[in-house]
Structure 1
Amino acid sequence: MENIWSISIGEATLRLFLAVVLGGLIGWEREHNNHPAGFRTHILVSLGSALIMLLSIYGFSEFVYEPNVRTDPARLAAQVVSGIGFLGAGTILRHGFSVTGLTTAASLWVVSGIGLSAGAGFYYPAILTTALALISLELLNRVEHLLFVSRRQKTLRIRVKDRPGTLGDLATILAQFGASIRRVSIEEEDPDEEMIDIVFTIRMPEKFPESDLIEKLRQVEGVMAVISG
């Protein structure tokens, strides 16, 4: 009868190699779309998770038959699930009013699960999860953009005189109209005349009164022009 607490070199190699390939596929998608954690990071997370899974199951096989020793193959691997949160948190960044990196943090968590599955020899779920993750990240991202983001996301370029408090006044009006500010940038237009362009990227609710918003923004002191794109 085959010893379940031992693994051949060939089988261990296969599991680690599969973890690299599957993690690399998801990492390539993140790298291709210029996200914080890319190709190498996802490979290392998946490979490390697979190694820890192998270690958890087979690394202490010589102690299995010792008296008063109870083994738990999942104990060491279970720490990966909670520990990966620290790495994922490092990819979450806040820029002004927008938060980025949440999807990449989630992809790292999924990749750690894929690595654990590959390390445990759970091949089919690991491969299927990789395929579903790629569909979610790439295909559904495009569908979401076509159905929701492109229709409800607008860019407002507001030319104003550079004075304290203008940005806050504009943001307050946007909030009153129910617009969600996704990104803000400030571009210096004419230093001699102290003119700047404040560019808002906003997410609009349903039945958004865009014309009323633009008219309200134009009434703010110091606003010279409002361009909607």
Structure 2
Amino acid sequence: MFTGIVEELGEVTAVETLGDASRYRLRGPLVTQGARHGDSIAVNGVCLTVVDVEGDEFTADVMAETLNRSSLAALAVGSPVNLERPTPVGGRLGGHIVQGHVDSVGTVLERKTSEHWEIVRIGLPVPAARYVVEKGSITVDGISLTVVDAGPDYFTVSLIPTTLALTTLGTKQPGDPVNLEVDVIAKYVERLLATRDTATRDTAPLTAAGAQDGAPRPEGSTR
């Protein structure tokens, strides 16, 4: 599990195409400290498995499913990336619960700059918009952010100077893709409510005649 608090701004140092997959080498002096084969590191909000570590760089394989459902396919040598290690048990939950499982790819639509902060409007697929609520949490390229406004196919976030300086959102321009992960709690609630409604229909009280309450009853039956 991650929390969406980016630990460092890393860099892609090599990209190897492997047919239906890709292998990335990334530089991250902080996140590679103590990292070993099999560990997880979030790259732009995507949970990847470390293949090997050499100095301050690590490699990770990315399968076709991940390339198709995230913006990682657009990475090239020199691309900056947000890096975060998993939160240890007992660690601080600085942002919100982040799985590193991208739900959809959004698009930066607009940036409005102020003296001390910046508003960024991001477009997202309509099916994902139902999970985004005003003042709720959303993960953008691995960054835990608070939603300012939520529209039918967009949302806005307000970025402080620290976020602008230490993450990829400082340089993203209109038209650039970003990985989005909605709050997993919203998805669980939706699923549970749908399951509850189905269970309620399937287990409606039975009458003495064996018919569900509200269903047609055999002639002569009583409640």
Q: What is the TM-score with the length of structure 2 in the denominator?
A: 0.26
Greater Cα radius of gyration, structure 1 or 2 = 1
Larger relative contact order (Cα-Cα within 8 Å, sequence gap ≥ 6): 2
Q: What is the TM-score with the length of structure 1 in the denominator?
A: 0.25
- Greater helix fraction, Structure 1 or Structure 2: 1
- Greater strand fraction, Structure 1 or Structure 2: 2
